[in-house]
A and B are shown apart, each in its own frame.
Chain A
């Protein structure tokens, strides 16, 4: 086998700007809110669910707020503030990857493998007043907690207009028609998890960025509410969902779930701009499925990887994400066995599925519903580039090798065009001298009598 080096693209350079995720962000002033990339980890087995929500909010912390519909009133113990690193680790482990091979000397073919290297890269009276105001508007403050740097309230409401009015009266900037988005959740007797940043706690914590909020609950519905996030958004939003389940891959049961085109040979220059390449590839796949599909970027047993963009998460990291079913015995198989042997041990009972959703209000009229399948076939977004042998070729195989190289580059250019939608001219320019001439390179008879 040729030598292989691995490059992984990090989410940040892939995902275009997004405004919100499963809940909507509301501000206390008219400041522009901007949520760059949203990531959600959904850990689920049976009805037990742990949801980790992370975002890249860059605005003033005093204006950050998050509203998420939840199936029940959560107790203090069901809420946790996690570590951003967990989602960064998931991202690094599951990112689409570029694999690099170098051709052997055509005169003395030898093969060897090099290991992969990642590149991913209120005062009491105020509370009383709030509760009275809420009651007058048909809103009940079921619970209020301070967890980490967040002030959290759990609300139930009888009327969406009342909830909208209460949020507005409490100083949240609610997008127009928010009550329309809130109504279906109220009708389904769902509660609202509303979080904002407690500036004092935030300063005391010393963290520069907002940490992800984690909630644990039981619900027969395997779903992710995204419709609220569309209420204050005018365009497409990108969301990466990592699901961790016991038995197999996760797919949507109400939107088509497809795989990102993978295992394609691409020209060498892609190495310099893998981020742009993957953005274009993703956009093209999304367009090809009428902008309505959810795209699977990775589905793999968490016990191992091949090649690894980053090592799999260890038992402690998975536990922090909420993988509650890893008992001591399976932790043993997960953490004590070296990664390369876990495959032979049948992996661990955790499958990671990475789903990338680019959604807007018109193409995604409903929340995302999911189902866990028994599918244990592994899948990854993987792109391969081959470097030619650049040393001196000292035998008669040179011409044949150069000819096969030209043919391979032509195929790679065609593959690249179909993956990204880039036109021939662009690809030809980027390939530089590697590009094959526009016309047929050799008359057919040239190789006839050799």
Chain B
């Protein structure tokens, strides 16, 4: 069998789950990583998804989406209290069904669960530097490789965000007279990688039009930069997405009101089953 005959799974989410699972296994095997969050988060997220689908009598959309949300939460949320992981998972999934404008949810579920818990209690936090730099470098290479190889990772939002973020950080490093290793150190962050490829890229919560999506990504990068270097906020990119998500319905509405009848979500920026929740 030749290499080009090898087929990647049709649903890109399988590839994403594979990547997230390897990310989690790196964390669990080699790093100072708590193991007890994962089952609580996965169980609650799946149960909440099933419950809402039945309660609202929606078509079954499968469980891949809550699994990806659970991975995101497991990898980013830190807590010392046992009830927070299930709460974050419940809020994440519930937000998809409850916080909707014109039939569309606009908060990335994992991002919402994380931010809501950080707002509600001091016992929830993110540890952006917890993966160390060596393994992360490998994961960055892998993620970028996947991006070249498969459309699931080739999102214009991811690229626009990453590009804007790198430019802003590089400009700051140059302005301060620092050296290149400082920039590399700032970019070798696990939360940045997760955020770029698995959070901001979520096609269900980003604006429908391409121009709007690029503007959205640039807004997130700009707001995150301002939060980090003007008000010195922690976890700036996570908060920036949380606040910028409120723009998605506005951008969608303006797109519909003013733009031509462009396809609402041209391939490859749609999930295969857009009817799913």
Which residue numbers of A lie inside 8 Å of B, CB to CB?
A: 160, 180, 183-184, 187-188, 220-221, 247-248, 251-259, 289-290, 292-293, 362, 365-366, 371, 373-377
Contact = CB atoms under 8 A, between A and B. Distances in A.
A325 B184 CA distance: 39
Contacts of A220: 231-232
Given A254-B185, A259-B32, A373 B125 contact: yes
A411 to B, nearest CB: 22
A256 B127 CA distance: 8
A221 B232 contact: yes
Given A180-B177, A220-B231, A374 B129 contact: no
Contact of B132 (A184, A290, A377): A290
B134 interface: yes
A258 B80 contact: no
Contacts of B128: 253-254
Interface stretch (B16-24, B106-114, B116-124): B116-124
A36 to B, nearest CB: 28
A373 B130 contact: no
A289 B136 CA distance: 12
A256 B249 CA distance: 37
B132 A365 contact: no
Instruction: Please classify the interface of chain A as helix (H, G, I), strand (E, B), loop, or mixed, using the class held by over half of its residues.
Output: loop
Contacts of B276: none
A292 B181 CA distance: 13
Nearest to B79: A374
B129 A252 contact: yes
Interface residues of B, number: 32
Contacts of B185: 254, 365-366
Contacts of B131: 256
A141 B125 CA distance: 41
B230 to A, nearest CB: 9
B125 A187 contact: no
A362 B78 CA distance: 29
Contacts of B274: none
A251 B181 CA distance: 22
Interface of B: 31-32, 78-81, 121-125, 127-134, 175-179, 181-182, 184-186, 231-232, 234
A376 B182 contact: no
Nearest to B132: A256
B121 A374 contact: yes
Contacts of B232: 220-221
Scoring A188, A247, A252, A373 by chain B CB atoms within 10 A of each residue's CB, the highest score goes to A373
Given A184-B177, A251-B127, A256-B132, 6 more contacts: A253-B127, A257-B127, A259-B32, A362-B181, A365-B185, A373-B80
Contact of A183 (B122, B130, B176): B176
B178 A184 contact: yes
B179 A371 contact: no
Contacts of B125: 371, 373-375
A375 B132 contact: no
Contacts of A248: 80, 122-123
Top 9 closest pairs, chain A to chain B, by CB:
A374-B122, A183-B177, A374-B123, A220-B232, A184-B176, A365-B181, A256-B132, A258-B32, A375-B80
Nearest to A375: B80
Contacts of B31: 256, 258
A332 B78 CA distance: 32
A181 to B, nearest CB: 10
Contacts of B123: 248, 374-376
